[in-house]
Structure 1
């Protein structure tokens, strides 16, 4: 395997998490998603609940409020401490074993490694909306709100900590539209690119 680490960034509702899990199973490698939370909580000293809410998503405010969040005497905010703990955990995981890592700015954190395949999964609004309605048992209006809110918070976090633009094709090795290709085809393409 020339690429031993696969990072998957994704739009909410695109099935990126599911695709990543299937790729990890097919390759027989570790899969990291929410199971990173406990490690980040341990490193940061913050609760797993707080990490779950904050490690990948910005607070529910704009980028300027995010940049000006409460800071200690060193100039670090709680969000900065969470990001730094998350960064260390991801670097340790990458050193330890081949794996798939979902979200958490892993593509940027591991940008200096040559054995990483960075994937961005996106989709069309109608298909993503249907998936969210089915998964979360919500009406279309609520699904659209969830999608907009989650993606905005992911984008704010990513843009703030990486100084790159979330979802911009040049930040990734591969960008796949799961609505057009289907999940299985996305998995096949990722597997081919790892060989």
Structure 2
């Protein structure tokens, strides 16, 4: 059993899980850290890569290689069948094993107690958990362009959008849904129009309202 959770904010129900999905350059990771600080909940991000790697016996790989493996999807062919509907026959690609292991870890963490999970299709993985709330963090091009220069080592908007394209392909391959579609999330937050601090407060207030 995975035991990293800490006691969270008493205003929320036990077992509350907050999932953050985000456009690259929107400040979603920073917002998730702010939520973690405000609520006293553990944030799971890159730790999930190592948990999944250990589950499938490849924990001796370097983190960069694990991240690349996690983010890529198997090559598609004319016989491609969506993973989420048909499953796989025979030996599964290592990418799929990684996704399955991460999903198993995410579900276990959600069962263990309140926490925050960043990305990794957790909104889909936890769609049947009654106290899981998912938020899509986005921003307009001007905001992302500025953050690309100041926060993301000078990345251009085109580079940020290329990363989004890869995330979208990964999400669709494993869930069958469209990444960023508002219907897949509890709510969307546009960080171009609100500070990250206030964005975190908005999420907290929203969940508290739903739980009343």
Query: Which is higher, the Rg of structure 1 or of structure 2?
Result: 2
Q: Decide which structure has greater helix share.
A: 1
Q: 1:64 Cα deviation (Å)? A: 5.6
Q: 1:181 Cα deviation (Å)? A: 1.8
Residue 51 (structure 1) aligns with: 66
Tell me, what secondary structure is at the counterpart of 2:193?
A: helix
Calculate the aligned-residue CA RMSD, in Å: 2.2
- Mapped pair 1:38 → 2:50: yes
Q: 1:73 Cα deviation (Å)? A: 6.6
- Mapped pair 1:101 → 2:94: no
Matches within 5 A, 1:84-163: 84-138=100-154, 142-163=155-176
Give me the whole-angstrom Cα distance separating, in 2, the residues matched to 1:13 and 1:98: 27
Residue 190 (structure 1) aligns with: 203
Q: Which runs of 5+ in 2 are unaligned?
A: 1-11, 82-87
Q: 1:89 Cα deviation (Å)? A: 1.0
Give me the whole-angstrom Cα distance separating, in 2, the residues matched to 1:52 and 1:63: 20
8 Å Cα contact 1:120-1:175 kept in structure 2: yes
TM-score by length of 2: 0.80
8 Å Cα contact 1:30-1:97 kept in structure 2: no
Q: 1:193 Cα deviation (Å)? A: 1.9
- Mapped pair 1:10 → 2:25: no
- Mapped pair 1:21 → 2:45: no
How many residue pairs get aligned? The number is 186
